[in-house]
Structure 1
Amino acid sequence: MDAVEISKQQRVEAVASLKRYFEENLDPIGDLPTGQLLNYFLEEIGPIVYNQAIQDAQARLQLVVADLTGDLYAEELQYWPRLEAKRRGRR
């Protein structure tokens, strides 16, 4: 997998957020270094977050699929038993 890709708008917002973080917590940083830092995060750390998200989604899907029988099981050949039950209810 290559670096995680984000839209142009997300990139603008991420750069602004990083710049603000630096201004409030470290030393001010320019647009170019901030963009390079964002590239680094996306390439180096983005796949870690992405892979964890995939693992979380797989685990959730496995739980859902494992219980399909319980959730979706349909009783078979129930026409006559239901009809008999209705007839008994009328009496």
Structure 2
Amino acid sequence: MRNKPGIKLTKEKRAEMISAIKSYYSAEREEEIGDLAAGLLLDFIIEELAPEFYNQGVQDSYNFMEKQLEDLLAIQKQ
């Protein structure tokens, strides 16, 4: 995996997410995976997929703020 700056997780949050991945595999796929496999999957998601979600959130925030600024300009006195 590439070593690039990205999303940082606390130990507690990482453990929570690994547990969620393991629970998903157990419930949805009826497979048991270990901490290492779940951790590697989490690393893949963080490095390869999460940036798209992050960027979409940034774009959504930008669009929201842009609309709010347009609304602000609408209250100008004529």
Range into which the TM-score falls when normalised by the shorter chain: 0.7 to 0.9
The two structures, once aligned, show a CA RMSD in angstroms of 1.7
Q: 2:46 aligns with which of 23, 42, 45?
A: 42
Q: 1:5 aligns with which of 4, 8, 17?
A: 8
Whichever of the two has the greater Rg, that structure is 1
Question: CA shift at 1:55, angstroms?
Answer: 0.4
* Moved segments of 4+, more than 4 Å: none
TM-score, length basis structure 2? 0.83
Higher helix share: 1
Is 1:70 the counterpart of 2:74 in the alignment? yes
Aligned to 1:24: 27
Gaps of 5+ in 2: none
Cα offsets for 1:66-88 (capped at 9, x unmatched): 121224x357xxxxxxxxxxxxx
Cα offsets for 1:34-88 (capped at 9, x unmatched): 00100000000010100000000000000001121224x357xxxxxxxxxxxxx
Measured in 1, the distance between the counterparts of 2:53 and 2:8 equals 13
Gaps of 5+ in 1: 76-91
Question: CA shift at 1:12, angstroms?
Answer: 1.0
How many residues are aligned here?
74
